[in-house]
A and B are shown apart, each in its own frame.
Chain A
Amino acid sequence: MIVLLLILIPLLGGLVAFFLKDAGLARGWSLLVTLATLAVSLAAIATKQHDALTFSAPWMGSLGSSFSIGLDGMGSLLCLLTAVSYPIILLATWRSGHRKASNFFGLMLLTQAGLIGVFTATDALLFYFFWELALIPVYFLCSGWGGERRIPVTFKFFIYTFTGSVLMLIGLTYVYFQTPDRSFSMESFYAVAMSNATQSWVFWLLFVAFAVKMPVFPFHTWQPDTYEQSPTATTMVLSGIMVKMGLFGVIRWVLPVVPTAAYQWGDVVMSMAVIGIIYASIIAIQQNDLKRLIAYSSIAHVGLMAATVFAETHTGLQGVMMQMFNHGINIIGLWIVVDIIERRYGTRKLSELGGLAQKAPGLTILLVIIAFANISLPLTNSFIGEFMMFNGIWNSDVTQYHAVFTALAGLGIILSAVYTLNMIQKIFFGPTTVLTEPARDLAGNERLALGILVAIILFFGVYPQPLLNLTDGFVADLLKAARYSNLPMK
């Protein structure tokens, strides 16, 4: 039942928000709804009753599908990320003053319902439903409230993801016809045995949708533009939570369903991911626009996670899960800072910024910590995640090239230090410019939002055990389903 609440609260809350004509009221209501969702998701993690974590109701029986949702380790973690991020996002953009606020917040909450639906669905058709449901409100958010070039950019984003997802639908339907009991349920999907050639087909049909969403090189071209043009709150949702849908999809619906193909194409995907890491990092170094810099940095980080997923090791996968959570937290922090800078100084260009360290010490300290997390320095949350991922790639026995991949991905870390430190230097040090001269420090809501994020970063940097405990059992089960059952291992 708890898990149903997780979807219902934001769904109904979002529908109500459309009818709250007063902007302040809609905003307050949304914060309340997201806090309620957060409380429920914490309760879901704390609860010992496992019955409460699954829910199933008949729906579309003639199509072999049912409304089945459930929380496992990975699902809980990502639901937690969604639930934690939303109040912080709302808090950080508290004073953005959106036009037609009721519609804006309504759509934001509907997106949350869709996201949680994706993370909890244990039925393939239902998963597809939620996958699209999370996309439609985002389309309206970006097109309605975004920057100047929002319409073509959002359209590109939409067409990319939609094309990917319809191919995924074909893949899922194909697998459905291979299941012994003609069912879309996850158990039946995991029990399917297909020939190697078929698996390859299905693998690519499914993987393209997830690769677009992550995005993995060369499917990434929609991403920097979309991040740049979307309203900040939506960019945070997109980059903090939505890109995780891609990784999640691979882990849940690709590895265990087509294990042989995942093994067969693992090297190809890992190569794509590693190329993406280096390519995106180099472009990030060249960027003068803060939003685009962070967008490319995100491609690099997600690339590492994608590569590690296909290394298929226990440590690596646990690292990926940790990092999915941490990357969400860190990048939302970065966007908050960009938003503050843009609203206050009217520019996102690095060349027009400078000298903020003296003017805004609070902002400086918080950003520096978040930036350190972005380059995975020890004591920050991503250090542990990235360390585990590197460990995973290095020790992987499904690829022969683990040393090459580890070395190249490691280069990505160094490059990330280059662009992140460069960014800090240009924003905070050096002489002040005309634009940054009348600087003020953080407002209360911003201080609170960033403070919470930094607290989370430091807490999980020192004590990551809760996250590891959450995913340990799940990863063990996953690897059992994905590898040793029907693979002729060397």
Chain B
Amino acid sequence: MNTLILSALSGVVMMFSGFLLGSRSAVRTLAHILLLVVIAGTILELRGIEIVHIDTRGMMVFDRFALMFMLVANLCTFAFFALSSKDMERVGSNYSDYFALIFFILSGIVLAASFKSLLILFLGIEIISIPLYILAGSDKLNLKSNEASLKYFLMGAFSTGLMLMGIALVYGASGSFDTTTIHATQAVPALLVAGMMLLLFSMAFKASAAPFHFWTPDVYDGSPTVFTSFMATVVKAAFFIAFMRLFSDAFSGLAPQWKLLVSIMVALTLFIGNLTAVFQQSVKRMLAYSSIAQAGFMLLAIYSLNSDAKEGLLLYAAAYSLATIGIFAVLVKMKDQSFEGFNGFARQHPVVAGALVIFLLSLAGIPLTAGFISKFYMLRATIDGGSLGLAIFAVLMAAVSVYYYFRLIQSMYFKDAGNAVEVPISAGFRATLIVLAALTIVLGLFPQLLTSWLYF
């Protein structure tokens, strides 16, 4: 509850800070401070201290899993602020509003991570989505940004409609919005299955799982790169947490009805994401498809729904967000966002390039990095669930992903820059990247630093 209240309040404060504070650096500093307060609130809540106690009448549950994810999301947002908040200035003139929207998204994430009632799920998903539509279109003078926003909005509204319909059908079948009271008796009512399918599709849309992924590349490519970074990491992870919670709480009893469908979705998502990413020439678009590919791996958690999957999804959210935020932060600074734009980058900025290598290795799932260990958790969960074939398919696709991640490494290290423009990089930025890279390795060596918090 702390996180929810603090982040919502912070959003309001940021909205007013636009005309109360004169300089942009003051706005930025305020945003950082507010986010730190939110993080402190989450940590306090993890230790059992609440600022105000509110009875949600069983509509929300702040268990370890929800709280840990909130913490991960807030920390990743902080990393995002530290790396990219300066670059947000270049997007448009409403600097403080961007921060306000991000804080609103964070409060939506709290709802999506801790719902126990389908209504709260709906509220959470909407509170996350609406600010995103605005952020996607925040580069108002850019046609592509407008297109991205409109496309995202229309498709998003449609999937929201599906979700509402699904909730209505589930309510009709079970007579309750509470996720834990939806039990299937011997005969599963068709109404319930239909409702569940609609919910499955709309969640798949939000999480950009194939075949509902078509909006993703265009929206990610069209949106201002700073916001793509946020959209593709923290927000996407939040959708997955909600997805997982919905299916483990409400629909685990219906597994025979959705298992096959989800396994097809996993395979399709992995296949389309990885194969298409191979052919991209722009790093930004490659990362968009890579986010689809990574979503395929995260879907494995929903497919298997065991304790490994739960821990793994949390780790995956952290590992994937850290690495992708780091890469995007550098990408924002590049003039030429194609692979060639990175040629000779290692000679220009050896330290930054080194950090990027660690992020890319993490995304590709090479041992010693958090990315490996989180992929490993997913595979374990899948094999434990008895789907050896799906696990084999997933690792083969991971091997394909090496192709496009390593292309960036090749550009940076082994290709000579023709007439590359010097990219200005500050010492603080470099230090933050080093911290993120170090975190990636520490999590890769000692994942229990994160997962043990789920239990103790």
Contact = CB atoms under 8 A, between A and B. Distances in A.
Q: Does B associate with A?
A: yes
Interface of A: 60-63, 128-129, 132-133, 136, 140, 143-144, 150-151, 155, 158-159, 162-163, 166-167, 169-170, 173-174, 177, 201, 205
Contacts of A136: 361, 366
B376 A166 contact: no
Nearest to B357: A140
Given A144-B414, A159-B402, A169-B376, A60 B448 contact: yes
Nearest to B307: A62
Given A63-B380, A128-B367, 10 more contacts: A60-B448, A140-B413, A143-B410, A151-B410, A155-B410, A159-B402, A163-B399, A166-B399, A167-B395, A201-B388
A169 B366 CA distance: 12
A59 B446 CA distance: 8
B398 interface: yes
B257 to A, nearest CB: 26
Contact of A60 (B368, B383, B410, B447): B447
Contact of A158 (B391, B395, B402): B402
Contacts of A61: 448
Given A163-B399, A177-B383, A170 B392 contact: yes
A260 B337 CA distance: 54
Interface of B is mostly: helix
Contacts of B368: 129, 132-133
Which of B376, B395, B398, B415 is most buried by chain A, counting CB atoms within 10 A of its CB? B395
A62 B396 CA distance: 26
Which of A63, A155, A159, A201 is most buried by chain B, counting CB atoms within 10 A of its CB? A63
B451 interface: yes
A170 B447 contact: no
B453 interface: no
Q: Which 6 A-B residue pairs are closest in the complex by CB-CB distance?
A: A166-B395, A163-B399, A132-B367, A129-B367, A143-B414, A173-B383
A174 B361 CA distance: 24
A170 B383 contact: yes
B388 A159 contact: no
B242 to A, nearest CB: 25
Contacts of B396: 163, 166-167
Contact of A62 (B399, B403, B448): B448
A129 B392 CA distance: 19
A373 B233 CA distance: 58
Interface of A is mostly: helix
Contacts of A174: 383, 388
B402 A162 contact: yes
Contacts of A201: 388
A180 B350 CA distance: 48
B63 interface: no
Given A60-B448, A62-B448, A158-B406, A170 B414 contact: no
Interface string B364-397: 0111100000001001100110001001100110
18 contacts: A60-B446, A63-B376, A129-B368, A132-B366, A136-B361, A140-B413, A143-B410, A159-B399, A159-B403, A163-B399, A166-B395, A167-B392, A167-B395, A169-B395, A170-B383, A173-B380, A173-B383, A205-B392
Contacts of A169: 376, 379, 395
A155 B403 CA distance: 8
Contact of B367 (A133, A167, A170): A133
Contacts of A62: 448, 451-452
Which of A60, A166, A169 is most buried by chain B, counting CB atoms within 10 A of its CB? A166
